[in-house]
Amino acid sequence: MSDTSLTIENILAPELTLCRVAASSKKRALEFIAEQINHQDNTLSETQLFNNLISRERLGSTGIGQGIAIPHCRLEGLDHVVGVLMTLEESVEFDAIDNQPVDLIFALIVPKEATSEHLELLSQLAEKFNERSFCDRLRQSEDASTLYQRMTASGG
């Protein structure tokens, strides 16, 4: 891991790790993600972020099953990858592949000129989330700092 490849640790900021968010719907969860990213970097348009996330969802839900979603999109003018991790207070309908509502979300915003590196990151996330005990630990987090530590701890 000595190279500067994209890893979850590199792209997830503690400020964008949110615990037990109250979101009443998939749309509201995506709006909240856009708001949070905009709070961290006001050069990024909240509206554009939200529209891009919604457009990506229209192509097919990013709900990967077992209550997990990895919404993602490309963004014009972005020069780094932005990650947002959040657990929801209550699960929301997400049109997931297994029709289960979602309560664990990791959003990924990548530059318009996204490369295979970004796809690699998506597969890293999917792999991590494939581990039920790992997801349980994330869901049991009582606060954002615990959630952040559990997400970025190497080796689960």
115 compared with 5, residue with greater pLDDT: 115
Residues 6+ apart with CB under 8 A from 17: 84, 85, 86, 144, 145, 147, 148, 151
Ordered structural domains, the chain, with CATH: 11-152 (3.40.930.10)
Length of the chain: 156
* CA distance to 20, 70, 119, per residue, from 122 (Å): 23, 8, 5
Q: Is the pLDDT of residue 143 over 90?
A: yes
pLDDT given at position 119:
83
Catalytic residue among 39, 72, 80, 118: 72
pLDDT given at position 4:
54
Global model pTM greater than 0.95 = no
Residues 6+ apart with CB under 8 A from 77: 43, 44, 112
Q: Is the pLDDT of residue 29 over 60?
A: yes
118 is catalytic: no
